[in-house]
Structure formats: C-alpha cells, structure tokens
Structure 1
Amino acid sequence: MGIVGAGGVLEAARPVAAMVVVELVFSAMQIFIKLALDDGMDVRVLVAYRPMFGAAFLCPVAFLVERKKRPPLTVKVVTGLFLCGLFGITMNQNLLVLAMKLTNSTTIVTALSNLTPQATFIVAILTRMETLKLRKPSGQAKLAGTLVGLGGAMLLTFYKGPEMRFLHRLAHTGMSHASGGRPQPAVGSRILGSFLAIAGCFSYAIWLTVQAKVVQVYPCHYSIAALVCVFGAAQSTLLTLCIHRDAGHWRLGLNIRLYSSAYAGIVASGCAFPLMSWCLQKKGPLYVAMFGPLIVVFVAVMSSVVLNEALHIGIVLGAVLIVAGLYMVLWGKAKEEDEQEADAPKLTDKDDELGTFHRLTVKHNEENTTL
C-alpha cells in the first residue's frame, strides 16, 4: 500500500517538476539573449538564428515521430502555419528582444510577457471568438483581471521607484562592477521598450488564436512546431537581410552569440516546447498557465545575480498586479467552464434510451430504403 501511495505521489509530482523545468529553461533563455545583446549581437540576427536552430532540431524529430499519422498539407493549413511563423516568431520575438535592448532589463520584459492571457482575451473579444458576459462572475473576473493586468503594466512602465539592493549585496560582494551597477536606459527608451513588449504580447495572442484553428485540422504538434520554425526562420532571415547584408553580423564563433542562438533554438524551442505540450495533454492549459509567474521570479533573481541588473520597487509592484490579473483571468476561465457544464442539458436514462431507440429506428429505415 505504501509503494502504491509513493507511486501516486511521484506520478502527481511529474507535471509539477516538468513545468518548473520549463520555466527555468525559459528564464535561462532570457539571460542568454541579454548576454548576446550585451556582446553586440544584432537583434534581428539573433531572432533569425533561433528558429533556424529550432527547425534543424525539430524537423527530423517530427518526421520520425509523426510520419505515419501526419495528414496532407492543404493551402489553408500552410497559410495558417505561415501566419503562426509571422506572429509567433518574426513579430513577437523581434518586438520582445528589441524591448529587452531598449529597457536594458530582462525582468521588465519578462513581467510584461505575463500579459499574454489578457491580450488573448482582448483579441478573442475583437475577433468575436469569445463574448463578454458581464452578468456572470466569470465574465466579471476576466474583465477585472484584464484591467488589473494592464494597470500593472502601466505602473511598471511609468513608475520606477527606489532600488531593491538586497540581491546585489547577496550576489556581488567583492565584485568590482557591483557598486557601479548596469547603465540605466533613458526614460523614453524604457517607455518605448515597455510598449513594444506589450505589443509582443498581442502578437503572441494572435499566434495562439491562429494556431488553435490550425491544430483542429492538423493535430500534429511536432510537425506544427517544426513548420512554424521553418516559416519563422525564412521570414526573419529575409527581414534581417533587408537591413543587414554584411556577413559580419551573421558570423558565429565559439562565443556567447553561438551559445545563445543554439540554446534558444534547440533547448528552449526543441526540448521545452514538447515537455510543455506533454503537460498540456496531462493537465490542460489552465494548469500550465498557473506556472507562468514563476519565470518572473526566476528571471529577477538570475538577472540580479548574473547580469547585475537593478531591481526597482516599481517593477515588483507592477509584476504583482500583472500576476494577480493573470490569476483572475484564469479563475474566470475556469468558472466559465463550470458555468457551461452547469447550463448544458443533462440526459436522463430515459432520454438516453429514447435516443438509442431513435438511432436504431433511423438505421432500420435507411436499410429498408436501400433494399
């Protein structure tokens, strides 16, 4: 009995451990990207290399795993995947990485990235994929969560506040650059970068909306991820070549530029995404979304320790409001599902018997008509 109980605990702990690993991988990716930017790597070149490495890793995996169950590609599916590459990689990644460069802060961009559920809710309302039911608690919670999250984003953008130095004292004791800290960006750059990060959330939300439709007709997760990386790599490369044709911008050596590109493409895209898909299949999207705020904590600690990045009270307060809004939206979504189940008509045993009798009668009549 004890062995069975221990096995059940381990089985329940697997999705938790998987999601913590996913958030750690994504947090480390933010640090790698910032280090590459500090080394002088161009924003657009960095974005182009990530889907290149991701596609090189995912294409063979998708071919081997899904070669027997992959449906044929149609024009509609290819168009959807092209749009997924455009909004999910080309636009989203360029906006977020440029925002990181302008704000000079991984923590700000990561905190603002948690606005994605609120942005998705707004996009769903605008595209009429979802209706706002203000008379029900679920609709009120989703609207309130969206407003609270946007308020937190505005607070984080426009209010800086005093610096929280305890992590600096903890991690940089005796280091020569600890007292000086990192150069602070201009106020205009910080505000522009914050709005670019918010725009990146809306781009990501559009990608989620498009991919949700693609998955319905093309349910192959590895193939979708691989093809989205292929389209994203092609689009990002064309965009970069229109701006930088000098081969020096693309040169990779055994340095942080290569490590950042490879990590973002192979580990973050190629390994973490399938792990997250497994958790989605096991526990559902709400469970996965619950772990999103962990990345804010991980990145805040890593940025202060590795990058000597200043953490200000405005970032903390804004992040708290964004996370609170996130959980309000998630609660509203869960409540909405409960309301839909409660409103759905329940079949009694008698109704089920009548339905079975009706189906048998129709089948019998069709057979007689055929004869």
Structure 2
Amino acid sequence: MITAVFLSVGLNTLVKANLSSGMSNFVFAAYSNLFGFCFLLTATTLRYRNRSPPPLNNSIVFRAFLLGFLGVFIQTLFYIGLGYGSPTLSSATEDLIPAFTFIIAVVFRMEKLDLKLRSSQAKTIGTVVSIAGALTVTLYKGLPITTHVMRHNLFLSSQQSQWLLGGCILSTATFTASVLIVIQVNSFNYPFKL
C-alpha cells in the first residue's frame, strides 16, 4: 500500500506538470488508456498462450464496455479536477475512495454496520476522519494574499476559487470511482474460474 501511495502521488505530480505545460486532459487520458490496453493485451496473451481463454458472452462484453466507459469518464474528470487543483489536493481526495465505498456499501446493505463490533467502529471512525481531512484540505487553503473588491463585495481570488472548484471536481470523481467499485463487485461474478 505504501508503494501504491507513492506511485499515486508521483502520477499526480507528473499529470499536473503535463497539464500545466499545455497537454490536454483528453490526450493524457487517451495515452494512459492506450498504454494500459497494450499492457493488458500483452499480459493476457502471455497467460493464455498455452490454453484457451474463458468464454465471453454478450453480457460480459457489455459490462466490460460499460465499466471501461465509466473508468475513462472518472479518469478524465480526475484530470480536469487536477488541472484546477494540485497534486496535494488530488492525493487528499483520493483518500476518500474507501470512505465513499464504505458508505455506499452500507446504504446498499452490502456491508453490515454493527457499532458494537470493533471492526465496524474502526471503519466508521476511519470514514469520518478521511472525509474531515479531505474537506479540510479542499476548503482551507489559507487566506488569499490579495482580494478583489468588486461592486462593494469581497471576493476570493480566482486562484482560491479554482482550488475549491478543483476540490469539488476531484471529490465527484472519487465518489464516482467508489460507485464504480461497487458496480464491479456486483457485475462481475464470473461463472468460471480465472
């Protein structure tokens, strides 16, 4: 998990640097998905070179297409939010995925919430702490150095409002990613072993 977090922070920094230098969100998403496709195609070919792969029916192909489409949508939304925010903000909002997934699982009764059990208490406390931490990072960036007075109203600087917009977009992306995780659990109960 520590390695995954370091790789995620490195990816966020790399994406932000590329977006800041003028690369389009859509181009970056297309390149990363093309790289993932090539990697998975190679891995699948190597795994099933001596035996036949499991059968695919229309239902599995449709579900894979739907989940892939949602994944690309989430990735693009994440890159748009990262363009408005920073790698720090994106890393903080990525920590919301387990919390949102737990909340969705409780709502849809995939997870039982019994506060008498220590595991349920730990999950609940972890969810509250991660949401509070992400909200703190999103909503508090510090006072702006300069403020603009327009029509007798005090507005935050555009950089502050972009930070907030980036945080909202990134939070939407992480919530949608949590929904995607729940959909994946329910939709891919294979009738065969991989």
Q: Tell whether the 8 Å contact from 1:80 to 1:210 is kept in structure 2 after alignment.
A: no
Q: Match of 1:83? A: 66
Q: CA deviation at 1:208?
A: 1.9
Q: CA deviation at 1:20?
A: 4.8
> In structure 2, how many angstroms separate the alpha carbons of the residues matched to 1:94 and 1:136?
39
Q: CA deviation at 1:37?
A: 0.4
- Is 1:197 matched with 2:170? yes
- Is 1:187 matched with 2:160? yes
1:279-298 to 2 correspondences below 5 Å: none
Q: Tell whether the 8 Å contact from 1:115 to 1:150 is kept in structure 2 after alignment.
A: yes
The answer to which structure has the higher helix fraction is 1
Q: Tell whether the 8 Å contact from 1:118 to 1:149 is kept in structure 2 after alignment.
A: yes
Q: Match of 1:148? A: 129
Q: Match of 1:74? A: 57
> In structure 1, how many angstroms separate the alpha carbons of the residues matched to 2:116 and 2:136?
29
Q: CA deviation at 1:219?
A: 5.1
> Which structure exhibits the higher relative contact order, with contacts defined as CA atoms closer than 8 Å and separated by 6 or more residues?
1
Q: CA deviation at 1:77?
A: 1.9
Q: Tell whether the 8 Å contact from 2:74 to 2:177 is kept in structure 1 after alignment.
A: yes
TM-score (norm 2): 0.80
Matched AA of 2:56: L
Q: Tell whether the 8 Å contact from 2:78 to 2:173 is kept in structure 1 after alignment.
A: yes
> In structure 2, how many angstroms separate the alpha carbons of the residues matched to 1:71 and 1:151?
44
Q: CA deviation at 1:127?
A: 2.5
Structure 2's unaligned 5+ residue stretches are 144-156
**How many equivalent pairs are there?**
179
Q: Determine which structure has more spread, i.e. the larger CA radius of gyration.
A: 1
Counterpart selection for 2:26 from 35, 44, 52: 44
Q: Tell whether the 8 Å contact from 1:102 to 1:185 is kept in structure 2 after alignment.
A: no
Counterpart selection for 1:212 from 153, 177, 185: 185
> In structure 2, how many angstroms separate the alpha carbons of the residues matched to 1:159 and 1:134?
31
Q: Match of 2:39? A: 57
1:233-244 to 2 correspondences below 5 Å: none
Q: CA deviation at 1:79?
A: 2.8
> In structure 2, how many angstroms separate the alpha carbons of the residues matched to 1:92 and 1:53?
17
> In structure 1, how many angstroms separate the alpha carbons of the residues matched to 2:186 and 2:100?
18
Counterpart selection for 2:138 from 145, 154, 157: 157
Q: CA deviation at 1:215?
A: 4.8
RMSD: 2.4
Q: 1:67-123 CA distances to partner (integer Å, 9 max, x unpaired)?
A: 526311123322321232133x222211211111111x1111111101111011112
Q: CA deviation at 1:194?
A: 0.6
Structure 1's unaligned 5+ residue stretches are 1-18, 163-183, 221-371
Q: Match of 1:135? A: 116
> In structure 1, how many angstroms separate the alpha carbons of the residues matched to 2:160 and 2:6?
30
Q: Tell whether the 8 Å contact from 1:123 to 1:202 is kept in structure 2 after alignment.
A: no
From the superposition, tell whether residues 30 and 64 of structure 1 become closer, same or farther in structure 2 (CA, over 3 Å).
same
Residue 59 of structure 1 aligns to a residue whose secondary structure is helix
